[in-house]
Structure 1
């Protein structure tokens, strides 16, 4: 069986932002996140955040590949769903430096709200092109629901952006 480089590329691409974000996140977990926020003890790296994100990024990448293949690429019905995918991926990658790097809790809440809406729109658009692709986005939606709630609760319970 030949190697499918476009499929592999689609699955690796989302992980690149995750790997880059890890360089911002990792040093801030013990020195800022776990020290400052009570909720962090529940949602820290011990829960396997890295493997979860790797699987989520990989599955959303595969979903994008399915949409690209099923929907005629960027010139077919896949165009809008893939644009939504690209924008949600950019928003996803932007959250980490905003929250962990700049420590802008209020902006992080706004940003993740925009991201969440974009994820829902992307998953819906994916499902209209390829049902499997839409279903592959469901774990990402579930995890993002938790991330939205946690981001909001951290902001609400810790006085907004004053905890830098």
Structure 2
């Protein structure tokens, strides 16, 4: 009879994980929405910038970030799925990178502070790489899910630097 109870407990634990995923998705997309509110004219601002020839078109950022915010949430969810695994440090770094991500848009688009935005994105990249290392200790798939995000942030860092240097 103990197997029947443990089976129900296992199903209950698995079922209770979905609200956590939905909460993480809501949090990540709230960060996206706040960034959008902080840069309502980002498209016009981006198009008016002196950009390098390799800069992507402005329309690409929305779809890319939509996917990336989803993977950021799912990666955290994968790490949090094991309640017996201490994840506090990993999730603290995940939170730090998300806050730095949130800070970048108003620094770059609203304030036009390209140098401070570059500092922020460099700190974001460092926090993200730390998050990936810590996530890998808990769940390799979670760390791998953050690879496209890290590549995009690296590219965005180079683009931010190029724009900053062209405006100094």
Task: State the TM-score, normalized to the length of structure 2.
Answer: 0.84
Residues 1:51 and 2:60 aligned together: no
- Aligned pairs for 1:74-93 within 5 A: 76-93=85-102
Ranges in structure 2 where 5+ consecutive residues have no aligned partner: 1-10
Pick from 39, 62, 66 the counterpart of residue 78 of structure 2.
66
**Shift of residue 19 of structure 1?**
1.3
Pairwise CA RMSD = 2.0
CA distance in 1, matches of 2:47, 2:57: 8
Residues 1:6 and 2:52 aligned together: no
| Counterpart residue number, 1:35 | 48
Instruction: Report runs of 4+ in structure 1 exceeding 4 Å deviation.
Output: none
Ranges in structure 1 where 5+ consecutive residues have no aligned partner: 160-164
Higher-Rg structure is: 2
| Counterpart residue number, 1:162 | none
Residues 1:97 and 2:106 aligned together: yes
**Shift of residue 11 of structure 1?**
1.9
CA contact (8 A) 2:101 2:124 kept: yes
Deviation per CA, 1:50-101, whole angstroms, max 9, x where unpaired? 12111111111111111111363xxx42110000000100000000011111
CA distance in 2, matches of 1:10, 1:79: 15
**Structure 1 residues 40 and 99: alpha-carbon distance in aligned structure 2, compared to 1, 3 A threshold:** farther
Deviation per CA, 1:13-48, whole angstroms, max 9, x where unpaired? 111111121123341321x3311323389333222x
Equivalent pairs, count: 154
**Structure 1 residues 40 and 158: alpha-carbon distance in aligned structure 2, compared to 1, 3 A threshold:** farther
